Amino acid sequence: MAAGALGLALVAALAVALAGANSEGDALSALRRSLRDPGGVLQSWDPTLVNPCTWFHVTCDRDNRVTRLDLGNLNLSGHLVPELGKLEHLQYLELYKNNIEGTIPSELGDLKNLISLDLYKNNVSGTIPPTLGKLKSLVFLRLNGNRLTGPIPRELAGISSLKVVDVSGNNLCGTIPTTGPFEHIPLSKNERLFITNLCCCGFEHSLVDPFQALPLSP
């Protein structure tokens, strides 16, 4: 009887693991379909495989949960997809130095374990989603060198773990938040905030001393 119960428990655990792998595989397949890959670097991303941990540029933990996507500087183009928000164990999302267009999906705010979000040097447009303020484990946020507009969301001030924020080289307007981690960034520890191209769009506060700001573009 005990052996039978143990067998059922193992089957249930396996079913849960496979369901998680399928969900993550589906999310990555959706991203693959949205990208153009002239170099064929994503050829290993086979949607018929249950486990995406065998795909190149994908790193998983010991439980076969996707924790890292290394897709930087691979000559990819296309756009991001909301399905990325289903990668709930993802810690590093590296898509820098490509030709990614479109907007940042608000669903990225569901990546509760995310440590690093690197989308710098693409052609991403639209606004920075306020939902990124839900990323309470985020340490590195690098969105520089895109075509982002609008203000810096004040929700980001609620992320106490933030060490580096780079939004330079965009068309942002308004001001930076003056509370939370933005208020107490100690530059002596190389924890930095880079801001450029801030125009006025109705905010009453200006840049403040605790930040290392790059010169405003003429």
DSSP 57: T
How many domains does the structure of the chain reveal? Answer: 1
No. of helices (H) and no. of strands (E), the chain: 1, 13
Could you tell me the residue range of the domain that residue 56 belongs to? 2-194
Window from 108-117, 180-189, 208-217 with minimum mean pLDDT = 208-217
Is 211 part of any domain?
no
Q: How far apart are the first and last CA of the chain?
A: 77
**Which of 23, 135, 122 has its CA nearest to residue 79?**
122
- Give the residue, 184 or 35, on which the prediction is more confident: 35
Is 100 part of any domain?
yes
Is 214 part of any domain?
no
Identify the CATH number of the domain in which residue 82 sits: 3.80.10.10
- Separation of alpha carbons 143 and 141, rounded Å: 6
Percentage of the chain with pLDDT > 90?
63
What are 99-154's pLDDT values in tens digits?
999 999 999 999 999 999 999 999 999 999 999 999 999 999 999 999 999 999 99
Structure tokens at 153: 């969301």
**Would residue 178 be called left, alpha or beta, if left means φ above 0 and alpha means ψ between -120 and 50 degrees?**
alpha
Is 163 part of any domain?
yes
Q: Which residue bears the tokens 């839900």? A: 134
**CB distance 31 to 81 below 8 Å:** yes
Percentage of the chain with pLDDT > 70?
72
Q: Which residues contact 81 (CB under 8 A, 6 or more apart)?
A: 27, 30, 31, 34, 105
Q: Which residue bears the tokens 């290392």? A: 212
Is 204 part of any domain?
no
Whole-number average pLDDT of the chain: 81
DSSP β-ladder status, 125-126 and 147-150: parallel
Is 7 part of any domain?
yes
Q: Please compute the mean of the pLDDT values over residues 77-101 and round it to a whole number.
A: 98
Is 134 part of any domain?
yes
| Residue type, position 94, single letter | E
Amino acid 175: pLDDT = 74
What are 37-81's pLDDT values in tens digits?
999 999 999 988 878 999 999 999 999 999 999 999 999 999 999
Amino acid 2: pLDDT = 52
Structure tokens at 87: 């990668």
